[in-house]
Amino acid sequence: MNDIEVKDRGNIVVSGITLAHLSRGLYRSTATVFKELVNNSYDADAPMVRINTNYPEFDFISCVDNGKGMSLEEFLRYFSEQGGIGSCIKRKGKKDTTDGYNRPIIGRLGIGMLAMGQLCHSFQIESHYKNKEGKGEAYRAEIILEDIFPFPDKEQVLRNEDKETKEMNVGTWGYEKIEYDKAKEGFRIYSSDVRATFRREMKDGIKYISKRKRNKALFNQALLHSEFYDKNKSISDCKPYLETLWELSILCPLPYYNKIGEYPFNLVFFETQNNETEKFKQTTQFIKERQTRFLEYKFRVVFDGIELWRHIQFPTRKGSVPKLYFIKFKEKVFGSTLEFYGYLFAQIPYHISPLELNGIQIRLRGVGIGGYDHTFLKYYRTIPTIRNRWISGEIFVDEGLESALNIDRDSFNEHNEHFKKLQTLLHDKLEVVLNEINNEARNIQETKKGVTNEKLKENRQTMVIKESNGKFKLTHSKLGKNFPIVTVNKEKGEIILNESSHPLKKKKANMILETVELAYFIAENIAETEKERHDIFYRIIKETLDKLV
């Protein structure tokens, strides 16, 4: 600024139309809308939050919790000009955890309630709570978002010179005090003014579910996991309703299962693979501690009667070779602490299933940010496509990174210093992992080839003895490249396969050529008639190639 002569200064302001449009479309999916409502219940120390979509009609939405409720004072601050949407006071001062269950407070800005605007035109709230003196109070309110006025197109506003854009109402609100009911203590948000797009999308989604599985008596997440998620390459194949269930369970601050002794890792499988390494112990101990912590928060989410858990278990493919890598970091980055822990899991040589678990999931205060990122925060080095799909992981950020969160709490500002540090460390770790699993995959491939070759040798030996009625046996010898592939020593009763002869470029092609030569020499030296030679030759070729190709 030294080369500019400053004559005047002023504040930078954001136009009302921009803010109004932000209020209409902050969240990328139905699940992320519900996640915001769930986060509010979590911060209110609710033991349980119930979401209802009036399945299968989807003409009513409600989110009901049994937390401490929202006081009328908070409500008025939220919607009035004195405070306004975004004037959150959850973490004023040094307050960082909830009073009841000591949960890390998620909310920062106070815009989550407005997420309902993406699913409905208007909604109602009802809150029963204890005031500062411990006396029960309650109120009911209505928020009307779009029906009250035609929502302006941003392009039209920009082209209309006379249009005032400094202030833009996004709707109207009103409230009434009601009688406190202890049985209703908590907060509820509901609407029957549901958007047609939401209803249509959800209804199309449940067509995927068989009529038998639509029976609510059979409808729980464990069954969904085995019936749908395990059998699909992608959760998106399950269509929007089940996709919403899946994504919400992954993003919410929930335990993996409802028992301390269960993990996202199949420990028995690891033990049989002799993976009791230090990194394995570090990772499983860390996840056990996190699982215990999530259970201590005593938070439950029920969606249309289905209780949600983070229903994940690795490996996702039997017969794979699993690997675990621990991630740990705590340092000052540009003057503020950044602390995170996590793991990378790889299963060799099979891709993670479902595909939505492939990648890295960043968890901030227990909440998933944006789902699993299959680019691993834009890993810039070359990743073999197949190897990349073998890896999944989670990083739990305990301190820092919040300043990198975008307003939707679903993505990051990639130029933030905390984000850059996490990204760099992850990429360095990923390079080590990819190198190791590449080597492991190569060893597995070589071992399989060795086993296949030995089995092929045994089959050939059996075939030679059988077809010659014991007159010949097969021997292997490195005679040199100038000798033929197959020779016959009638005096010793041997058919000799020259292992030094590789006239073709590919191994399998050479094996096929060897098989043809063996079939010819056996038929030539055993059969007495042309027809017998033809039958023996054809039979050997057919049987051998059946096993080889």
What are 292's two structure tokens? 């215990």
- pLDDT mean over 456-477: 81
532 falls within a domain: yes
Residues 171, 271 within the same domain: no
pLDDT band at 214; cut points 50, 70, 90: low
Beta strands 473-477 and 494-498, pairing class: parallel
Residue 547 in this model has a pLDDT that exceeds 70: no
- The better pLDDT of the pair 308, 91 is held by 308
Q: Is the pLDDT score of 72 beyond 60?
A: yes
CB atoms within 10 A of CB 334: 12
Q: What is the CATH number of the domain that holds 398?
A: 3.30.230
Whether residue 44 is found in the same domain as residue 143: yes
Q: Answer yes or no: is pLDDT of 147 > 50.
A: no
Residues 167 and 316 in one domain: no
Q: Is residue 3 part of a domain?
A: no
Please report the pLDDT score of residue 255 as a whole number.
94
Nearest C-alpha neighbor of 378 from the set 343, 424, 433? 424
Give the mean model confidence (pLDDT) for residues 312-341: 92
Domain range for 481: 468-548
47 preceded by cis ω (within 30°)?
no
Pair (381, 472) in one structural domain: no
- Direct distance between the N- and C-terminal alpha carbons of the chain, in angstroms, rounded to an integer: 73
Examine residue 74 and state whether it is found in any structural domain, yes or no: yes
pLDDT at residue 180 is higher than 90: yes
Q: Give the residue among 362, 357, 361 at the shortest CA–CA distance from 389.
A: 357
Same domain, 476 and 355: no
At 148, is the pLDDT very low, low, confident or very high (cuts 50, 70, 90)?
very low
Overall number of domains in the chain: 3
**Residue 28 belongs to a domain with what CATH number?**
3.30.565
Q: 449: left (phi > 0), else alpha (psi -120 to 50), else beta?
A: alpha
pLDDT tens for residues 278-306?
888 899 999 999 999 999 999 999 999 99
Beta bridge partners of 188: 64, 126
The stretch 163-179 carries a mean pLDDT of 74
Is residue 242, in this structure, part of any structural domain at all? Answer: no
**pTM (whole model) above 0.75:** yes
Burial label, 183 (beta-carbon count in 10 A; 0-12, 13-18, 19+): exposed
Residue 207 domain flag: no
Provide CB contacts within 8 A for 304, sequence distance 6+.
Answer: 51, 52, 53, 55, 219
Query: Does 133 share its domain with 25?
Result: yes
Query: Is the C-alpha dihedral spanning 525, 531, 534, 539 positive or negative?
Result: negative
pLDDT-above-70 percentage for the chain: 81
Peptide bond into 354 cis (omega under 30): yes
Question: Order of strands, edge to edge, in the sheet holding 48-52?
Answer: 172-177, 136-144, 122-130, 186-191, 61-65, 48-52, 300-303, 306-307
Residue 39 vs residue 450, higher pLDDT: 39
Residue 432 shares a structural domain with residue 285 = yes
User: Which of 9-18, 103-112, 113-122, 411-420 is least confident?
Assistant: 9-18
Q: Tokens 């932000």, residue?
A: 22
- Under the banding of pLDDT at 50, 70 and 90, the label for residue 270 is confident
For 331, the token pair is 């340092």
Q: Are residues 299 and 422 in the same domain?
A: yes
Q: What is the mean pLDDT of residues 11-25?
A: 52
Query: Quick check: is 97 in a domain?
Result: yes
Instruction: Tell me what percent of the residues of the chain surpass a pLDDT of 90.
Output: 44
Q: Would you call 190 helix, strand, or coil by DSSP?
A: strand
> What does each C-alpha distance from 394 to 4, 153, 229, 333, 361 come to in angstroms?
48, 40, 20, 21, 5
Same domain, 133 and 189: yes
Beta-bridge mates of residue 436: none
What pLDDT, on a 0 to 100 scale, did the predictor assign at position 160? Answer: 54
Pick the more confident residue, 145 or 199.
199
pLDDT tens profile 403-413: 999 877 889 99
Residues 427 and 303 in one domain: yes
Within this chain, do residues 293 and 359 fall inside the same structural domain, yes or no? yes
**Final residue of a domain: which of 143, 161, 193?**
193
pLDDT of residue 149: 42
Sheet holding 367-373, edge to edge: 321-333, 336-348, 391-399, 359-364, 367-373
- Dig out the tokens for 518 from the structure: 């063996």
How high is the pLDDT of residue 150?
47
User: Domain end: 174, 193, 212, which one?
Assistant: 193
Residues 312 and 401 in one domain: yes
At 361 the three-state DSSP class reads: strand
- Grade residue 158 by pLDDT with cuts at 50, 70 and 90: very low
Question: DSSP assignment, residue 308?
Answer: P
- Residue 521: band (very low, low, confident or very high) from pLDDT cuts 50, 70, 90: confident
402 part of a folded domain = yes
Bridge partners of residue 144, in order along the sequence: 122, 172
How would residue 428 be classed by pLDDT, with cut points 50, 70 and 90? very high
Residue ending a domain, among 134, 167, 193, is 193
Tell me the two tokens of residue 349: 């040589």
Residue 41 lies in a domain: yes
Whether the pLDDT of residue 478 is over 90: the answer is no
Q: How confident is the model at residue 58 (pLDDT cuts 50, 70, 90)?
A: very high
